[in-house]
Structure 1
Amino acid sequence: MSAYAIAFILLGAFAGGFVNGLAGTGTALFALGFLLVALDPISAVAVVTLMSVATGMMGLWEVRAALKVNVARLMRFILPGLLGVPLGILALAHINADLLKLVIAALLVLYGGFFSFRANLPRFERRTPVLDSGVGLTGGILGGMAGLSGALPTIWCSTRPWPKAETRAVLQPYNVAVLSLTAAMLWHRGAYDSATLTAFVIALPVSFLSARIGLLVFRRVSDNLFRRILVGLSLLLGLGLLLDAIW
């Protein structure tokens, strides 16, 4: 592997690890562009998926106390999400994934763009168990179809005025669970060859270090600022998808 390729792998690892440490989601958004310079698309996705799971474990430890606050709410996201991944893979043969990405991108840009420049964020306070499960299922389906498992849960959680640890205690384990299943499916399909695993080993130490830095920043932001970070990530994710489609 050339020094040029290694440099881009390390840049992607740093960017993806930092945002995972800060927000508990968004690794692929910040890492994939760098890794695609060095690796083929399947290998890049495989590395980012494993990297998201590995750095996500650090985030789970950070919010270990908040994970116990509302286990039932967390399961309403995770269990439908795991069911949705294979459904999304099956649906991929019947739905245009590129068109789907454009629709999701437009939703993310509209939501993120609108609330990024408003003084007040949305405050959806009442319990919504059915909607929670629907968001979890849809996120899993989008993950299986287009690798977008975190898009809708990020929007949904940013509308809830939960403490930042509770918000992260939904997003982080949801992403770890869904992406672990995705990684297992990629492994079954033979995506993790020697070159891919080599790239992952190169990326892992840097992603751990940058995730640690992101966690230090997470501890210092307020609950309201954390919600704004999620809104900003929604906007960036949407813009990234739009640019990818145009390119």
Structure 2
Amino acid sequence: MTTEAILFLIIGAAAGGFINGLAGTGTALFALGFYLVVVEPVTAVAIVAFMSVLVGLQGLWIVRKEIFTYPRRLFRFVLPGLLGVPFGLMLLDVIDASTLRTAIAVFLILYGAYFGFRAALPAFTPTLPWLEAFIGLIGGVLGGAASVSGAVPSMWLSLRPWTKTETRAVLQPYNVAILSTTVCLLAFKGAYDRTALNALLITIPSGLIAAQIGIMVFRRLSDTGFRRLLILLTLLMGLGILVAELT
């Protein structure tokens, strides 16, 4: 592996690890572009998925108390999400993935632009278990069909007036669960070949270190600051998806 390839892998892992440590999501948004420069798309996705799960485990530790305090809240998202992944894969047989990703990108951009620049954030307080289960399901379907499992849950959670640790206690394990399913499916398809494994040996150390830095910044954020961060990430996610599809 060339020095240039190693450098791109390290930078991508550091960028993805930092944002995952900071927000509990967004690894692919910041890392995938670097990986795609030096490895094939399937290998890049496999690396991103594995790194998202690995660095996400560090994020789970800092919100472990909230996870066990509100287990039903988490399961309302995770269980339907896991059921949605295979349906998303089947959806690829009847719909064009590029069109779907473009539509999602436009929606994310409109949402992020509208709420991201408001002086006061909305606070949706009613507890609607059926709606949260549906959002978890949609996230799983979109994860299987377009690799954007965290988009819709992030949008919903940014509207909830929860503390930052309560929000992360849903978003982080949700992403870990959905992406763990993705890793298993990719492994079954043989995506983790020698090239991918060699790349992981390079990305794992820098990703884990960067995630710890992101976690330190997360601890300094206010609850409102964390909600604004999620909204900003939805905007960036939409822009990133749109640029990728248009180019």
What per-residue deviation string (whole Å, max 9, x for no partner) do you get for residues 153-176 of structure 1?
Answer: 110100101000000000000000
1:106 maps to 106
Question: How far did 1:115 drift?
Answer: 1.2
User: What CA distance in whole angstroms lies between the structure 1 residues aligned with 2:66 and 2:101?
Assistant: 32
Look up the equivalent residue of 2:208 and give its one-letter code: F
Question: SS at the partner of 1:29?
Answer: helix
User: What CA distance in whole angstroms lies between the structure 2 residues aligned with 1:229 and 1:5?
Assistant: 31
TM-score by length of structure 1 reads 0.99
Question: How far did 1:241 drift?
Answer: 0.8
Question: How far did 1:201 drift?
Answer: 1.3
1:142 maps to 142
User: What CA distance in whole angstroms lies between the structure 2 residues aligned with 1:117 and 1:86?
Assistant: 36
2:37 maps to 37
User: What CA distance in whole angstroms lies between the structure 2 residues aligned with 1:215 and 1:67?
Assistant: 17
Question: How far did 1:186 drift?
Answer: 0.3
2:122 maps to 122
Look up the equivalent residue of 1:134 and give its one-letter code: F
1:85 maps to 85
Question: How far did 1:9 drift?
Answer: 0.5
Question: How far did 1:146 drift?
Answer: 1.0
What per-residue deviation string (whole Å, max 9, x for no partner) do you get for residues 48-103 of structure 1?
Answer: 00000000000000101111221111000000000111111111111111011111
Name segments (4+ residues, structure 1) moved above 6 Å: none
User: What CA distance in whole angstroms lies between the structure 2 residues aligned with 1:169 and 1:125?
Assistant: 17
List aligned pairs for 1:155-170, cutoff 5 A: 155-170=155-170
2:52 maps to 52
User: What CA distance in whole angstroms lies between the structure 1 residues aligned with 2:20 and 2:83?
Assistant: 24
User: What CA distance in whole angstroms lies between the structure 1 residues aligned with 2:109 and 2:239?
Assistant: 6
List aligned pairs for 1:60-79, cutoff 5 A: 60-79=60-79
What per-residue deviation string (whole Å, max 9, x for no partner) do you get for residues 21-44 of structure 1?
Answer: 000000000000010001100000
Look up the equivalent residue of 1:121 and give its one-letter code: L
Look up the equivalent residue of 1:108 and give its one-letter code: L
Look up the equivalent residue of 1:168 and give its one-letter code: R
List aligned pairs for 1:233-244, cutoff 5 A: 233-244=233-244
1:95 maps to 95
Question: SS at the partner of 1:227?
Answer: helix
* Identity among equivalent pairs (%): 55
TM-score by length of structure 2 reads 0.99
User: What CA distance in whole angstroms lies between the structure 2 residues aligned with 1:198 and 1:149?
Assistant: 27
What per-residue deviation string (whole Å, max 9, x for no partner) do you get for residues 164-213 of structure 1?
Answer: 00000000000000000110000000100010011011100000000000
User: What CA distance in whole angstroms lies between the structure 1 residues aligned with 2:139 and 2:213?
Assistant: 28
User: What CA distance in whole angstroms lies between the structure 2 residues aligned with 1:197 and 1:157?
Assistant: 34
Look up the equivalent residue of 1:140 and give its one-letter code: G
2:189 maps to 189
In structure 2, stretches of 5+ residues that fail to align are none
